[in-house]
Structure 1
Amino acid sequence: MIRLQDLIIRIPIAHTATNEVVYQLDDHFFELFESSLLEKGNLDVRVKLDKTPRHIQLAFSIQGQIELSCDRTLEIFDYPINIERIVHFKIGDENKELDVDLYMIDRQASTIELAQHIYDFVNLAIPMKQLHPRFSMEEEVKAIDFF
């Protein structure tokens, strides 16, 4: 069972460094978040940290599947996830969000929490219209007819 404190990456003390962590996440991951839109899924997460004296880059690679409910039939189906995202951290005097995927992190910080980033990336990958795969061809034909 995964815990929030398990989803933390240590920032190396060296001025330049590289580190990589791998996680296998399941339904327990989604239980960590109150009022989660998702309840079930299996994810393979790889996070690579590259540190320079003024900058930290986290490259997220998330593959797996999540369980969604079809908007048309309410039938449960597995939706494949394949996410590649990069988050940048400028090293400064305080912790704050500067922009989407750009943060300032206090130079005294020794760790970065990954759970919220992973959760947000997965939620952003959910399609607006959640249709069972057997309806996907139908929707593509409708879109072509529309244009």
Structure 2
Amino acid sequence: MRKLKEFTIPFVGLKLGQHRFEFNIDNKFFEHFEYDEFNGADVKVDLLLEKKTTMMELTFKASGTVNVYCDLTNEPYDQPIDSELLLVVKFGAEYNDDNEDLLILPHGEYEVNVQQYIYELIVLAVPSKRVHPGVLDGSLRSEVLEKLDELSPGEKEVTKEEDIDPRWNKLKNLLNDK
């Protein structure tokens, strides 16, 4: 996958201490990952990079909305996003990102690309079951909901004895004749 240069942070020239970065994420970002679950995205990611002598701590905070389809009605709605991620960056012999909270960069590396962490932060902040807020409070009106209400099992009609086929009555007698 091609790295997006605006998400590459050259940390070698930064002084020790805290540094802030801000990223505005839209649908073009997700098109780069070939992720098409979102109709639209408007997410702001604040990154606090704390550079120390032997390591760095990156704190990601994402807030905003993504437009998704409801799993029940297929109606689009804006799902609020509010998520946070802490990533520790250390230096070692070789690159290793096996641990989700720890990134090991080779000695001599001078920049870090954070696009994958931002992508995962936003995608994992969306609930697995997406339900339109109008469904929860009852204010949404759609054809799908009306059809679901129409087809949902309501109170069962009590059948009268005369409505039952007489052949079934003969079978019931078999159970009683012991």
TM-aligned CA deviation for residue 93 of structure 1: 1.7
Tell me if structure 1 keeps the 8 A contact 2:71–2:129: yes
> Match for 1:30: what amino acid?
F
The structure that has the greater radius of gyration is 2
Judging by fraction of residues, say which structure has more strand. Answer: 1
Give the aligned partner of residue 34 of structure 2. 34
Q: Distance in 2 between matches of 1:105 and 1:18?
A: 20
Deviation per CA, 1:10-30: give whole Å up to 9, x if none: 213467333211112211111
- Range moving further from structure 2, 23-32 or 119-128: 23-32
Deviation per CA, 1:45-99: give whole Å up to 9, x if none: 1111111122111010111100111001100000001112111111112110242
Q: Distance in 2 between matches of 1:65 and 1:71?
A: 17
Q: Distance in 1 between matches of 2:127 and 2:44?
A: 20
Sequence identity percentage: 26
**Structure-2 change in CA distance of 1:73 and 1:92 (3 Å):** same
- Range moving further from structure 2, 107-116 or 70-79: 107-116
Q: Distance in 2 between matches of 1:91 and 1:123?
A: 28
Runs of 4+ in structure 1 off by over 4 angstroms are: none
TM-score for the superposition, normalised by structure 1? 0.83
- Range moving further from structure 2, 92-101 or 121-130: 92-101
Give the aligned partner of residue 12 of structure 1. 12
Tell me if structure 1 keeps the 8 A contact 2:81–2:125: yes
Give the aligned partner of residue 129 of structure 2. 129
> Helix, strand or coil: the match of 2:12?
coil
Q: Distance in 2 between matches of 1:19 and 1:12?
A: 13
> Helix, strand or coil: the match of 1:99?
coil
Tell me if structure 1 keeps the 8 A contact 2:45–2:62: yes
What RMSD, in angstroms, separates the aligned Cα atoms of the two structures? Answer: 1.9
**Structure-2 change in CA distance of 1:46 and 1:111 (3 Å):** same
Tell me if structure 1 keeps the 8 A contact 2:65–2:80: yes
> Helix, strand or coil: the match of 2:135?
helix
Give the aligned partner of residue 49 of structure 1. 49
Judging by fraction of residues, say which structure has more helix. Answer: 2
> Helix, strand or coil: the match of 1:96?
coil
Q: Distance in 1 between matches of 2:39 and 2:92?
A: 37
Give the aligned partner of residue 64 of structure 1. 64
Q: Distance in 2 between matches of 1:107 and 1:50?
A: 18
- Range moving further from structure 2, 111-120 or 12-21: 12-21
